[in-house]
Structure 1
Amino acid sequence: MRTPWKPVLGLFLLAPLVGEYLLGNVTIRDVGGLILLAPLYGGGALLIREATRRTGKGWPTILALGLAYGLVEAGVIDGSLFSVDYEGVDYDAVRVPFLGVSAFYGLQFVINHAVWSIGIPILLTETLTRRHRTTPWLGRIGLAVAAVVYLAAGLLIRYDSLRSGEYHVTWAQSAGVVVVALALIALAFALPGPSPRGSARWVARPWLVGVAAFVLSSAYLVLPATWRGVALTVKIVILAAWLITWLSRRAGWQSRHQVALAAGALMTYAWAGFLITGLKHDDDPVAFAGNGVFTVAALVLVAVTFRSRAAVTGATQEVESSRKA
């Protein structure tokens, strides 16, 4: 099988650029960090996409595997899940003593990775890939390479976290994280594959889907780090999942709706990036300039994806396949 290198490379780089740089966790000064972050984020995203497409599964599986990815990264690789103060940020709120985890930030770590680090990069890259949209991209050698670079990057980041003194994870906690991650992986492959579209053709216009995604994801990111915030997080996630499921099963749902969904969530990360930079690098104008660069790049990517031939032909193919089913 000939590997389509453009989408592979695109996803490999887009996952860390969205997951860390657009959000402002890593500034443009540290763009060289892609050497380590791309194998971790991009390697993980490629493995998740390949596992999903090879088994004929769909977006529920991608997102469930994304949750497992986020849990392992925060709970085993960098240890942020169990830290009360990671990279200068206080994560001690709403702590569950017997688990050693913040209920609020733990949810955010895992959900953010599933949606922004994994889901959105896969969605945008696939939409730009007209000929190989839902087919495997990697052969056996490619899969092996992706797995090796992902594991190697994870071990290096874990070593760096240990060396810096920010890693405070016991073997029991690591084992617990692995068990829960394995349960999520089992659930991911037990979920049904793509289902036939319904007959109802009406669906909200793409711009309205994008606005709704922006509003819901923004509301999610500004919730207070309290037990009320935890409850609202769960409610927003359930509401968003229900709305997307309901809309995507209608015959009028197209690829451009998916792109609009991603665009709304990306713009949430864009404004949040300025906020996080203000908290972590308030005296660094270069970091703020980087926020602007990444925001413009995200807007350009969305515009190109939305106007691409793949988005149009993919929309037509989706509607036709749902009718045949």
Structure 2
Amino acid sequence: MTLSTLLTDATTHLTAAGISAADARTEARMLVQHAFGLTREQLLLRSEVELDAALLEPFLLRRASREPLTYILGERGFYGLSFHVTPAVLIPRPETEHLVEVALAFLFTSLGSLGLATPSGFAKEVSYSDETSGASYPLRSEERAISRTQRVPRSRAVERGEVNKSGGQRQVLDIGTGSGCIAITLAKLLPDTSVWATDISEAALEIARENATRHGVQVTFCRGDLLAPLPLDLCFNVIVSNPPYIAPSEASTLEPEVRDFEPHTALFDNTLGGEGLSFYRRLASEAPARLVPGGLLAVEVGQGQAEAVARLWRDAGLIEVSITPDLAGIGRVVSGNKL
């Protein structure tokens, strides 16, 4: 079967499985590239070459069952880096890049120039196609993160010079690290910062460690619940988290790619009567004590949750609480500083 016919048939097959026509065309191309080891240029130049359709079939069947394209390809772009991804971890999403930006902007403004340099092999400005919408998203560079610093308020503790007074190494913590995309990106961009990451899943931590090795960074990974596995005397300049924030009652509203394949422990607030805010309540209760004066607690939130989480932050005594919107204008990151 010729390559062009194979692409047409694959697109038809995916469309019949309920995938939109626009996405089906893009995904058929990506699956063909994956199955036959072709580059985009080869795909365009070899339209009449004969290929064995049997090599594509297992990948096509998996996607037709609505398994996420990322799990089939095994890779996902995040903030200009590529991460190995399996069903053991949540798929990195563009919205989470805003959480990285908030952390970088805070560290840049509060602790002085970080001397950020583009590491070898780090793409300063690339893009990738989102598997669910077919839209092309820019992968933001550290320069774009720094450009946002004027919109990030300096905490009063920073202005009083109380942040990191000892001059010790900056400490950053990622709670619920999953693939490690947040922690590893921060470690890549902040080579003089000590980065820690926790997760309750050993399978997820195995993937995160693999990704850290791939990108040549040192991250201290600890298995356990939230802050529990960390040394009691360890405090952080920044704590970030993308915790489970979907209420179980909303499961039926999710796309099958999410509901049926991504790890439920990373998606759902499975506490008794969980409405999506349980982990934020725990973070509001436990995290401030582990911040240095002026330190930042920043989290990703679901649509419609930002104001509720901001109230939790204020009730916990955090100041300069702010909400950062995503590219769609939805409140996506809630952050606040320790007095």
TM-score range, shorter chain: under 0.3
Compare relative contact order (CA 8 Å, sep 6+) and give the higher one, 1 or 2. Answer: 1
TM-score (normalizing by structure 2): 0.23
Structure exhibiting the larger radius of gyration computed from Cα positions: 2
Larger helix proportion of the pair: 1
Larger strand proportion of the pair: 2
TM-score (normalizing by structure 1): 0.24
